[in-house]
Amino acid sequence: MNLTYEMLKQKASAIMLKLVDDYCNAPMRGQYSRLLGKYTTAKKDVLKEGLTNIKMLNELSNGMFDKNVVNFKDEDDVELPKMELNKE
């Protein structure tokens, strides 16, 4: 099975949906869990992970197809940039 541009777009869309769900369910601040022995995942951690995955898909898409999967509308380094799936 070959990796296609459409597959990358579907994966980016799935990541965005998961990002929204996880972000809504995550606490504002991470709290230490004695049971797990570590801090729970906070909203900022969920956001950072989701954006990193989307940017990685963009890098992969640029290398293979010379176009982005997700277009970032904000050029500044903001916490949550405006983004949309590429319509090409």
Mean pLDDT (10-residue bins), the chain, 88 residues:
90 93 89 83 90 92 92 67 70
For the beta carbon of residue 26, count every other beta carbon within 10 angstroms.
Answer: 17
Q: What is the pLDDT of residue 80?
A: 64
Q: What is the pLDDT of residue 31?
A: 83
Q: What is the pLDDT of residue 88?
A: 67
| CA 8/CA 54 separation, integer angstroms | 10
Domain range annotation of the chain: 5-85
Whole-prediction pTM: 0.75
| CA 65/CA 42 separation, integer angstroms | 34
Strands 70-72 and 83-85, by their bridges, are antiparallel
CB 46 within 8 A of CB 33: no
| CA 28/CA 75 separation, integer angstroms | 26
Q: What is the pLDDT of residue 22?
A: 93
